[in-house]
């Protein structure tokens, strides 16, 4: 099976940490550091919320899909900046799978 797009992105995002900031968008974000990346995550989260409200009114989800991709992408850059990748997040979702949200919340420390 072809490697997932998330796994492929992990490799590219990690490699960009050693690249010149002038050479790529991700390299420039890594160079600017965590605060700039967090600013982008916050910005994309707000844009996603606004797109969801627009989609509710218009019935057209295309902008919502586009903005959610921006949000996921910048979240992956955030994880990469901190030495993580997408896999532990998928593992955490898998761990929760089938567990009632109410039970999971009650089990949190
Ligand atoms: N998936 C993405 C991706 N999604 C969104 N973006 C960029 O994220 C930015 C978000 O849009 P904004 O309007 O907020 O950006 P902006 O105005 O340029 O940002 P600011 O100057 O305001 O901070 C745009 O520049 C998009 O091009 C992405 N840039 C890169 N990728 C992937 O990352 C790989 C590496 O990218 P480079 O490092 O640029 O080669 C690419 O091959 C793609 O696979």
6-31: pLDDT as tens digits: 999 999 999 999 999 999 999 999 99
31-49: pLDDT as tens digits: 999 999 999 999 999 999 9
- Say what the alpha-carbon torsion angle 51, 68, 82, 13 is, to the nearest 10 degrees: -130
Distance 14 CA to ligand 1 centre (A): 15
CB of 12 sitting under 6 A from ligand 1: yes
What is residue 86's predicted lDDT score, i.e. its pLDDT? 96
pTM reported for the whole predicted model: 0.92
Q: How confident is the model at residue 74 (pLDDT cuts 50, 70, 90)?
A: very high
- Hey, what are 101's tokens? 């949200």
Please check whether residue 52 is in contact with residue 62, taking contact to mean a CB–CB distance below 8 angstroms.
no
Residue to mutate, 25, 42, 46, ligand 1, most ligand atoms under 8 Å from C-beta = 25
* Length of the chain, in residues: 109
User: ipTM value of the model?
Assistant: 0.91
């Amino acid at each position: 099976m072809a490697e997932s797009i998330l796994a492929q992105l992990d490799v590219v995002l990690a490699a960009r940490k050693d690249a010149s900031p002038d050479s790529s968008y991700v390299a420039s974000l890594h160079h600017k550091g965590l605060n700039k990346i967090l600013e982008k995550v916050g910005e994309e989260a707000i844009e996603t919320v606004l797109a969801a409200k627009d989609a509710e009114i218009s019935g057209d989800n295309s902008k919502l899909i586009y903005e959610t991709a921006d949000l996921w992408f910048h979240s992956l850059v955030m994880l990469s900046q901190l030495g993580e990748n997408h896999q532990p997040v998928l593992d955490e979702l898998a761990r929760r799978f089938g567990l009632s949200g109410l039970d999971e919340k009650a089990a949190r420390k």
